Each structure stands twice: as structure tokens, then as C-alpha cells.
Structure 1
Amino acid sequence: MQFKKVMTGAAVLLASAPAVMAVGSATVVNNCGFPIYYASVGQDYTANMQLLQGSFSEQYTQEGVGISIKLAPNATTSGPVSQFEFTWADGKVSYDLSNIDGYPFSAGGMEIVPSLQGDSNNPTCVPVDCPAGESVCTAAYNAPDDTRTMVCDQDSDLVLTMCPGGAAKRDVEVNSQGHVHYRVHARHLPRRA
């Protein structure tokens, strides 16, 4: 009889607990052949640049707060910095890439891919692609008045891959201004007889 009362009490407590919302996360993956540094900053906090050890992931936890993951090929934000920006609010996550403060990754490119891509309810839940080799990414913010924000349901994970095509067969040099330069190796083909 005591066991039945305990179980009934536990069921009442569980039924009255608030529902846990499923939310996704934002991830940055370094697929480049050189170090990338990041700092995740929000409305009420700042952070120092840290070395990206393969990848960095952050769950959407601050509703209504814009988060910017600043990305650079060096540990300072005084040079060119690309930004992966997102805001979680009202069951949605808004996201974009910003190159307003420079585009140090133009040689290798970058791409955000949402895990749950667009349908008729979420037509703007689509990848944001900055192809390698383009000095200006038209899919990213390049000026403050651009409109480049996409929107997905809150349970969609966003994965930003730096250098989505990889950095194979390339030498990489990061100069003192933080610009990345690639030297592509020429393939040696056999001579025809």
C-alpha cells in the first residue's frame, strides 16, 4: 500500500513538471589545414579567442539572446574576423554568416548546413554557402544593412564547416594581417612519349 502511494505521488510530480523543449545546437568544424581560433560571445558576456580543437558545439540555451561565434586564423580579433551568428526565440533559430569585419576564410570557404532543411513550413531553413576562392560571399552579411538571415525550427542543429572542400594538396600561410594564402600543388603528369 505504501508503494502505491509513493508511485502515485511521483506520477503527480512528473505530470506537473514543465515540459522540456527539444532544442538544437550550433557547431563549428575546422576542415582547413591551418589553425582556427574562436570566441563565442553574447549580449551579456565576452570571451577570449581560443584554438578550435577540431570542433566546437554550443546548444541553444539563451532564449532571445543573439550569439556570435567569432572566427579568425589567429588569436586576435584585431584583424579580419568572420562571424557565425544565431538567435533562439519563439521556437525558431535565426542564423547567418557575417563578413562585415573581413573575410579571412575566402580561400577555403565556409558553409552552414541545418540538420532539418526547409519545407513548406520553413522555406528559409537552408544552407548558407560561401564557396572557396570567392573574395566576397554574397550569402553572408558584408554590410550592416544586408539581409541574409535564415530561420529554422529550434530543434534543427546548425553545422558550420570551415573549408568544406578540405585543404588537401595545399600549403597554407597565414600572414601578419590574418589573411590566409593557399599554394596549390601542381600535379605532375607523366610525359607522353
Structure 2
Amino acid sequence: MCSRSCARCLGVTLIPLAVCCIVANILLYFPNGETKYAQDDKLTQYVWYFTGIVGGGILMFLPAFVFMNIGDCGGCCGNEGCGKSCAMLGSVLAALIGLAGSGYCFIISALALAQGPRCLTFLGWDYPFANGNGKYLTDHDTWSACLEPAHVVEWNITLWSILLALSGLEVIICAIQVINGLLGCLCGSCCNSEDYSMNA
């Protein structure tokens, strides 16, 4: 069935995206490659939401494996189409879980980008860009407000942008599978019903 082949391709695509989300989130704990800021709890608050590790990462393995191993539930009432519809319906439920995880990662990443990093300023540790509605993203002159960690603004923008982009792709993939799964579930039952009636 074409819809099952599509689901398998989508599942394979989700694996590297999930792994990259986990890596990007882990790197956020080590601005400029240093561990002391995590140990001293001087990182942006959104890092502790584990958005890339859980939402865009671990949680995405469930739909990925369901999509890649999609099969039949075994049929019911002697109708093979029922089993295929059951399998596609299961993939829709897994895709909805994936949508929740990737959507969570997308939203938190967007909020983190808008808030900007927590860093040492002349007034102490603070969020110097929190009230700027993300204008600092294009105003490089303001980045000098962060004295420490070194290059923390570039570090945060790069990694949160990667998480935003990757989770956005995951949202699209899971949404495609919701549609694909519903079509496979409905059309699969219809097609198999027609085959059954023609063979009878």
C-alpha cells in the first residue's frame, strides 16, 4: 500500500532530526564549550525545559518506529482491510504524539529566541534582551551587552534556531502522516471492501 510506504519514509526521516535536536539541546548547556555556567545555574531558563532532548528528541522516536514498522493488526471479521486500517489508525495516534512533542519544542525554541540568553551584564546576571521582542536578533551592536559567557548570544541564536527549524520539520512530517494515515485508513477499507465484493 502506497500510504504505508510513505509512512516508512517519514519514519526514517524523523530519526536524524530527533538525534540532531538532542545534540543541539545538550550543547546549550555548555556555552562557549564551558561547563561552569551549567554547574552555577547561570543558563537561560528555557534550557531546563529539555525541549530538544524530550520534545523534539526522545519523544519523536515513538512515531518514527511506528511509521517504519507499520504493518497489519491482523484483520477482523475475516476482512484483511480492517487490519490495514487498524495499523494506519495506530500511526495517526503516534503522529499526534509526535506533533505534541515537536510542537512543544518549536514553541519553547521560539520563546527562547525572543527572550535571548541570560548573561553577565554591567548590572549582574540578567536577560538584557528580554523586553526587546527579539529585536536583538538583527541588531548586532546590542550583543556587547553580554560580557560573559563569551559569544553566548551567537551560541544561543544558532542552537535555538536549529531547534526551531528541526522541530518545524518534525511538525510538518507528523502532520503529513496524520493526513496520510487517515487517508490510508479510510481508503484502505474502501478499496479492500471493493476487492472483496468483486471477488465474491
**Between Structure 1 and Structure 2, which shows a larger proportion of helix residues?**
2
TM-score (norm 2): 0.23
TM-score (norm 1): 0.24
Relative CO higher for 1 or 2, CA cutoff 8 Å, sep ≥ 6?
2
**Between Structure 1 and Structure 2, which shows a larger proportion of strand residues?**
1
